[in-house]
Amino acid sequence: MTKRLRSGMILGATLLAAQLGFADNHKSDAGMSRIEKEVRREMATLPFYSLFDNFTFRVDGETVTLMGKVSRPALKSDAENVVKKIEGVEKVINQIEVLPLSTNDDRLRLALYQSI
């Protein structure tokens, strides 16, 4: 197995795990609070949310803590803004990390994704 193919397989598995981790971030829908369901729905439907972004969150009463890593700075602020608008959310703690902006990183992500 070539080094490039092995790297692509590892990246693919990592990206898939990240996406499944967000989808599986919380209990089943039946065990989730209304706020948890709305936060998950709003974050998953953000316009520029992609395979290369990873969101997690925690709901403690009326406080929502956003975590994860995103590839675009606007996505961090967009996530905070949509969660602030959810009825019952009084406070949003935004701990989302923005990955370094780099054309080379974007090109590498895309190339590895396409090779998978």
Q: Supply the range of the domain harboring residue 38.
A: 3-115
**Total domain count, the chain:** 1
Exposure string of 55-90, with b = 16+ CB inside 10 Å and e = fewer, is bbbebeeeebbbebebbbeebbebbeebbeebeebe
User: Is the overall model pTM greater than 0.75, yes or no?
Assistant: no
| CA 77 from centroid of its chain's CA atoms | 13
Query: Residue 101 belongs to a domain with what CATH number?
Result: 3.30.1340.30
Burial (0-12, 13-18, 19+ Cβ within 10 Å), 30 = exposed
Q: Give the separation between CA 116 and CA 104, rounded to whole angstroms.
A: 18
Residue 79 in this model has a pLDDT that exceeds 60: yes
pLDDT at 17: 54
Q: Which residue is listed with tokens 């990873």?
A: 54
**pLDDT per residue as tens digits for the range 10-63:** 555 555 555 555 555 545 666 789 999 999 999 999 988 888 899 999 999 999
DSSP 15: H
